[in-house]
Every structure is written in C-alpha cells, then in structure tokens.
Chains A and B, each alone.
Chain A
Amino acid sequence: MISVHNLVKKFGDFTAVDGVSFEVKDGEIFAFLGPNGAGKSTTIKMLTTLLRPTSGTIILNGGDPVANPDAARRSFGIVFQDPSLDDDLTAMENMELHGILYDVPSKLLKERSKELMQFVELWDRKDSLVKEFSGGMKRRLEIARGLLHHPKIIFLDEPTLGLDPQTRNSMWEYLKKLNKEEKTTIFFTTHYMEEAERVAERIAIVDHGKIIATGTSESLKEQTKSESLEDAFLSLTGKMIRDEAATPADQMRMRHRVWRR
C-alpha cells in the first residue's frame, strides 16, 4: 500500500529525512516512532503531497504522489500534528467543507458527520465556532474530520496528543474497527509507547532522519533485550534530549500571537 525507497528531504544544508526506505502492507497498522525532530512529520508530509522529496521514490496505493498528486490525495486521509481547522467556521461547517472537498455524497456526509461527532462527543457543540473550543475538543474534531471520507490509507501524526485516556481509547477502538471492516491501512506516529505497542502491527524507529530498526514490538524488544518497548526505544535512540530547532512556521505562529495581543 505504501512503498518508500531511499527518501530524502533537505531543508537547505540540513537533512531532515536521510534515505528512508520501508513498506506498509495493505490493511496494516504501522507506527513511526522517534524522538522530537527525527523526521516523522516531514516523512508524512512527503507521503501526503505537502512537501516535495529532495530525492527517492514513493508508491502510494499503486501511484506516485509526486507525479500524480490528485490520485494520491483521493486515497488517503490525514490528521496533522498541528492544527488545521478553520477557527472562524463552526464544527459542522468544517466537517461539511471537508466532505465536499472529498466528494462525499451529501446524504452520507450528513449521516457520517453525525455519527463521528457523536463519537467524539461534539455533536451538541456542532454549531459552535471552532475558536470557542478547548484544545482537546479541537483535536477530537480534527480526528472526526480526518475519518469522514473513509480513506484507503489514514495518516495520523500524533493524533492522541493532548487527549484524555477515555477519548484515546475510544478513538483507537474506532480506528481498529475501521481497519478490520474496511481494510483501512493506518500509518501513525506517537510518543506514547504503550499505544504503539497495543495498536501497531509493525513499528519503525526513526532517529536523525534514518530508520534504525523495524519490526513488531516483540521483535524490537528481543533485538535490544529490553523489558518494554520504552526501554527498547531508549536503548536504540539514546537518552539524550533533542533540542529541536524551531521551524519557521513555529516562529511565525509566535510572532502572530504577539502581534494579535
């Protein structure tokens, strides 16, 4: 379903993704783990046509997203690490806009919006502007929106960040159900090791833009002779804290906040 070969992304002199290769099978649940700044989001952005790879090849659902972005875009859904809702629209309007952009028939759009918003417990707030939502509510809406069009592949970049355990569990229940019933391929990143261990069929560990290990959580533990996935992760990536350089987007957001005051 996803096949990546020698993928590289450079920002100026800095290599964020440095020759990554991996395969994700049809209907598989695959996790990308790695310290801050490892290059997880950058890889996802290349897979999802938001960034052009510096070099390397990607095959997504049988096509090349670089050469044929439109076909690729039809095949996946994504929940971004950073916010991507329109704050000036209501929750429902955000869902509708998404549904229309993805050609969801209007009857199905209504049904599914209701189902998903009930599921993330936002149905009674459906006509509130998103800017009135708490961080966790926004996150839940992002997830509901990402699932709206039942894509073949779903990318989740730290989807559970900032969610309470109840929501996290029920979200994974839903995703697993989707994975079983519709054979949806799931590609996600997370910093919660127990989540990766519980959900992912296979895990790749990335550090400094390179994949340093791939396998099931069992095999990773074996390889490193560790008790838990967390220990395996730490033994593979070291204990040093990464000081991730702020991206221009972050800096911009900061400035904007200052400016708005």
Chain B
Amino acid sequence: MKKIYILWLRQIKKYLRSKSRIVGSLAQPLLFLLALGYGFGSVFQKAGEGNYIEFLAPGVIGMSIIFTAVFSGIEIIWDRQFGFLKEMMVAPISRLNIMIGRTLGGATVATAQGLLVLIISLFFGFHLSSVGAIIPAVGIMFLIALLFTALGTMIASLLDDMQGFQLIINFLVMPAFFLSGALFPLKGLPKALAFVATIDPLSYGIDALRFLLIGEVHYGLVRDVTMLAIFTSVFLLLGSYFFKKVEV
C-alpha cells in the first residue's frame, strides 16, 4: 500500500514541478474554447441547439483529460530512457502494483487538469447546472483519466521509443477525441459516425459529464457509467498485461 502511495506521490510531484507542462497543456483547451466556442456559437444557436459554450465545455474538459492521461501513461518511455524504470523493476514490488501506483498517479494528474479546465471554462461563460454536480463529475473525470492512462501505459509497454508517439496521437488520441461527440451533438449523426461514437469510450465519458454538468444526455447516465466502467476495467487489465512483459 505504502509502495503504491509513494509511486503515486512521485507522479504528483513531477507534475507540480513541471510548470511548463501545466501551462502548455492548458493552451489547447483554451484555444478550443475561444475559437470554437465563440466561433461556432451563433451557428449552433441558429440551429436551435442552444448555447455552444455550455455544450462544448464538457467536451474540452474531456479532451484535456485524455491528452494528459495518455501522456502520463506514455511517460514510462521516458522512465525507461532516463533509467528510472530499472530502479522500479528490480524493487520487491509486483509489476501490477507498479502499474497501479503509476496509473493512479497519472489519473489523478489528468483529473486535476480536467478540473482546472472546468474552472477556466467558467470564465468563458460556462454555467454549472448545480455546484454539487461537481463531485460526481470528478468521479467520471477520474474514470476517463484511469482509462486513458492505462491505454497510455499499454502503448508505452509496446513501443521502444518516442518514434511511435506522434503516430499514436494522430491515429488514436485525436480520433478518440474528435469522434466522441466532444464537439458536436451525437443525435442525428450519419449511421457510420454514430456507430464509431458507440465504440469510442470517450463518448460515454463526455455524455456523462454533460448530463452531470449541464443536464443534457444522449445515451443516458446508466449506460454511460456502465460502458465507461467496462472500458476502464478492460484497459487496466490490458495495460497491466503488457506492462508485465516489459524488459528493461
């Protein structure tokens, strides 16, 4: 337990110490809120969909979470490059617990990032349906974060170096974000796109966030949470399976 805690703490410390990373990873959500939020605002309104910022903010929160989370998972590659992975791998702690400590740490960091974006979006005109909704919303954010940190861990266990990193971002993270309904409503989509959204775990995460934060929902909260829980468990299992096979 204490060993998991210390690995968790390590992730948190590293995050808090890299001010440039915090600021850098806020730039993208800010840009989305500004450019899309205000840019598409009137079109969205005319289409009878209401206030776009309200709709967009949960999507942008989801975006900042998945980018931070996948990145936290992928940091294992850095640990390998700088050698610290060896120190963890020879210690009397099971690979599973290393993975758990790291994943919890990465997920905590990603959730914090999501919360930060939530607060920022309030300044862009985002309104919470109720302040109390923040607590369950943080729970959902943490589930999303866990899922994608585990995914990042899995990818990092399969890659030797950062060469494949851009590929992963372009072919996995970007599509997961753009096809999730983070930017557009899921109702009335072409069949193919609607199908893709149902196999994108982020769709459920963002749908649940929308329900909790602004009271709009597409799939329904029960389905959202169930699907999210299933996806998260599967990726945690996959992540630990592949992490076990890592040789230094």
Residue numbers of A with Cβ under 8 A of B are 45, 48-52, 70, 73-74, 76, 78, 80, 82-89, 93, 96-98, 100-103, 129, 248-249, 252-253, 255-256, 259
Given A50-B247, A52-B247: A85 touches B84 (CB 8 Å cut-off)? yes
Nearest Cβ in chain A — how far from B231, in angstroms?
31
Interface size on B, residues (CB 8 A): 29
Residues of chain B within 8 A of A93, CB atoms compared? 10, 13
Given A97-B6, A102-B91, answer yes or no on A83-B82 (Cβ-Cβ < 8 Å). yes
Most buried by A among B2, B88, B92, B161: B92
Write out the residue numbers on chain A whose beta carbons fall within 8 Å of the beta carbon of B89: 49-50
A45 CA / B82 CA spacing, docked (Å): 17
A98 proximity list for chain B (CB < 8 A): 87, 91
Ranked nearest first, the 10 interchain pairs of A and B with the lowest CB-CB distance are A101-B91, A84-B83, A73-B92, A252-B161, A74-B92, A84-B87, A100-B6, A83-B83, A84-B86, A86-B84
Structural contact, A85 and B83, CB atoms closer than 8 A: yes
CB distance from A46 to the nearest CB of B (A): 11
Q: In the complex, which of the residues A73, A82, A103, A129 contacts B90, with contact meaning CB atoms closer than 8 Å?
A: A73
Contacts A51-B247, A255-B162 given; does A103 touch B83 at CB 8 Å: no
Contact of A248 among B7, B92, B94, B160 (CB under 8 A): B160
Q: In whole angstroms, what is the CA distance A223 to B88 when docked?
A: 42
Q: Mark B63-91, 1 if CB is under 8 A from A, else 0.
A: 00000000000000000111110111111
Q: Which residues of A contact B163 (CB under 8 A)?
A: 255
Known: A253-B81, A259-B162. A101 touches B86 (CB 8 A): no
Instruction: Annotate B83-118 by CB proximity to A: 1 below 8 A, 0 otherwise.
Output: 110111111111000000000000000000000000
CA distance A251 to B248 in the complex (A): 14
Could you list 14 examples of A-B contacts with CB < 8 Å? Answer: A49-B89, A49-B90, A50-B89, A50-B247, A84-B83, A87-B82, A88-B17, A93-B10, A97-B6, A98-B87, A102-B92, A103-B92, A249-B81, A252-B162
| Contacts known (A50-B247, A252-B81, A255-B161); A88 close to B90, Cβ less than 8 A | no
Nearest chain B residue, comparing its CB with the CB of A256: B81
Q: Is the CB of B10 within 8 A of A86?
A: yes
Contact across chains for B3 and A100 when beta carbons are under 8 A apart: yes
Residue of B nearest to A255 (CB): B161
Interchain CA distance A166-B82 in the complex, whole Å = 27
Q: Is the CB of A78 within 8 A of B90?
A: yes
Other than A80-B83, A86-B82, A256-B81, give 20 A-B pairs with Cβ distance below 8 A. A45-B248, A50-B247, A51-B247, A73-B91, A74-B92, A83-B82, A84-B87, A85-B83, A86-B10, A86-B14, A86-B87, A88-B17, A97-B6, A98-B91, A100-B6, A101-B91, A129-B17, A248-B161, A249-B81, A253-B81
Nearest neighbor of A45 in chain B, beta-carbon distance: B248
Contact A80 B86 (CB under 8 A): yes
Given A80-B83, A82-B83, A101-B3, the answer on whether A88 and B248 have CB atoms closer than 8 Å is no
Contact partners of B20 in chain A: CB under 8 A: none
Q: Are A88 and B18 in contact (CB under 8 A)?
A: yes
Binary CB contact string for chain B from 219 to 248 against chain A (1 if under 8 A, 0 otherwise): 000000000000000000000000000011
Contacts of A100 in B (CB 8 A): 2-3, 6
- Collect the chain B residues with CB atoms within 8 Å of residue A51's CB: 247-248
Contact with A along B11-52 (1 / 0, CB 8 A): 001100110000000000000000000000000000000000
Q: Which single residue of chain A is at the shortest CB-CB distance from B85? A: A84
- Residues in A with CB closer than 8 Å to B7 are 97
